[in-house]
Amino acid sequence: MTIADPRDTGVQRLPFDLARIRRDFPILKREIAPGVPLVYLDNAATSQKPVQVIAELTRFYRDHNANIHRGVHTLSVESTELYEAARAKVARFINAPKTEEIIFTRNTTESLNLVAHAWARKFLHEGDEVVISEIEHHSNIVPWQMLRDARGIVLRYIPMLPDGTLDLDAARKIIGPRTKLLSITAMSNALGTIVSLEVLVPLAKAQGAVVMVDGAQSVPHLPVDVQALDIDFLAFSAHKMLGPTGIGILWGKMALLDAMDPFLGGGDMILTVNMERSTWADVPAKFEAGTPNVADAIAFGAAIDYLDALGMDAVREHEREITDYALRRLADVPGVSIFGPMDADLRGGVISFELEGVHPHDIGQVLDTRGVAIRTGHHCAQPVMLALNVPATARASFYLYNTTDEVDKLAASLQEVTRFFGGGR
């Protein structure tokens, strides 16, 4: 049975049926040891893939494989059409005004670096300020530090408050007339904090700054509409939203993309080449030098179809419920302290925690023997660890296929960890 979506023609909505969803993910049937089923709680790192995506990848290689934009033969035409159809799906998914504004990259990191190279190096000058935050992933810190060292721009950080949210009062002081770019995550991968873009974006816009959003965690888990957000660039990765590895997205406003120089030079990105000089192809080809990752882009289209059919509101609601349940369940486990906001409305499905007297590595290792996969370490967000004054945390992160039973398994396994290491320092 399908339910028609009132807002959107064309997309057939499916009810959010957890049992059916889980059947779509073959890996969820895996056992980590005989009789120990996988409990996959490392979704902020990468998500699992449904059969629909895996099948699309195989179908492409089996039935259509050819290079795109090059041949007149049937397979090349089909490949090109499938690749461009995937681009259109991505555009619709984030409500981009134009399909050509979608650029296929390798991942969020490359998308952020593309803007740092092709936009910021051209348009920012010494003394211009780039504002980021203390809760960024390293991929939204390091490119700006490199730019600072190369170009003399000033890098400023919006600080984090003890509850893991950003200090908006400080942001009002930091974002000023010298701010030329606000590059900010929409959701922290380390703490799950949902960032108040509705406050920060207008602050930056009022100063005439460009706004880039790191959507690596938000686009997979929340409804995202680039026009409603009033932003200029958005970066995200397919692999965190049911898609394959090796595909990322940069969306940018056409006027900005048009004004930028290419990122890489080579085939597919030129209009003409003679021995003196070349002219650039139009966006998006200008930014897609060389043979792109055709198969994975097309399979990503299948991932988007999957999410579209469920509806991102339903995905968010499921994750909000799981997170709310997990926050309460984990708070009851003796010795557990949770970092970040305690209100599931303020965070995505990410819970960083510590367990008294047990190092995160040891937690992760013991949990693995129970089939429970979590991440331990600094989560590529060392400034957050510094602010929390911990060397590392343990992190459980959820997606649309996780269940409250799995949260119960996590909680029970944590109690075993405490028992096992009991008496530790």
Ligand X SMILES: Cc1ncc(COP(=O)(O)O)c(C=O)c1O
Which residues bind to ligand X, rule: CB under 6 A? 44, 107-109, 137, 139, 185, 189, 214, 216-217, 237
Site track 339-368 with other proteins (rule: CB under 8 A), x = hit: -------------------xxxxx--xx--
Q: Encoding tokens for residue 353?
A: 């925690």
Q: Is residue 355 left, alpha or beta, with left meaning phi > 0 and alpha meaning psi from -120 to 50? A: beta
| Least distance CB 241 / ligand X (angstroms) | 10
Residue corresponding to tokens 């949902």: 194
The 10 Å Cβ neighbour count of residue 217 is 30
Q: Are 245 and 226 in contact (CB under 8 A)?
A: no
| Least distance CB 138 / other proteins (angstroms) | 7
The 10 Å Cβ neighbour count of residue 189 is 27
CA distance 44 to 319: 12
Residue with Cβ nearer other proteins (248 or 284)? 248
Residue with Cβ nearer ligand X (107 or 293)? 107
Q: How many residues bind other proteins (CB under 8 A)?
A: 36
Q: State the binding partner of 167 from ligand X, other proteins, none, CB within 5 to 8 A by kind.
A: none
Closest to 193 measured CA to CA, from 8, 61, 323, 12? 323
Q: Are 402 and 41 in contact (CB under 8 A)?
A: yes
CA distance 83 to 60: 10
| Least distance CB 48 / ligand X (angstroms) | 15
Residue with Cβ nearer ligand X (128 or 136)? 136
Instruction: List the catalytic residue out of 280, 380, 382, 390.
Output: 380
Residue with Cβ nearer other proteins (45 or 342)? 45
**Is 216 an interacting residue with respect to other proteins (CB under 8 A)?**
yes
Restricted to residues 382-411, the positions that interact with other proteins (CB under 8 A) are 382, 385, 390-392
Q: State the binding partner of 294 from ligand X, other proteins, none, CB within 5 to 8 A by kind.
A: none
**Is 423 an interacting residue with respect to other proteins (CB under 8 A)?**
yes
Helices (H), 161-196: 168-174
**Is 380 an active-site residue?**
yes
| Least distance CB 138 / ligand X (angstroms) | 8
**Is 37 an interacting residue with respect to other proteins (CB under 8 A)?**
no
Q: How far, in Å, are 39, 324, 377, 393, 420 from residue 337 at the CA level?
A: 21, 15, 16, 10, 18
Residues in the chain: 425
What phi and psi values does residue 297 have, to the nearest 5 degrees? -65, -45
Q: State the binding partner of 214 from ligand X, other proteins, none, CB within 5 to 8 A by kind.
A: ligand X
The residue type of 156 is R
| Least distance CB 152 / ligand X (angstroms) | 25
Cβ-Cβ contacts under 8 Å for 270 (sequence gap 6 or more): 278, 279, 280, 281
Restricted to residues 88-147, the positions that interact with other proteins (CB under 8 A) are 109, 137-139
| Least distance CB 241 / other proteins (angstroms) | 13
Binding site for other proteins (CB under 8 A): 44-46, 109, 137-139, 189-190, 216-217, 358-362, 365-366, 369, 375-382, 385, 390-392, 420-421, 423-425
Would you name the residues annotated as active-site residues? 380
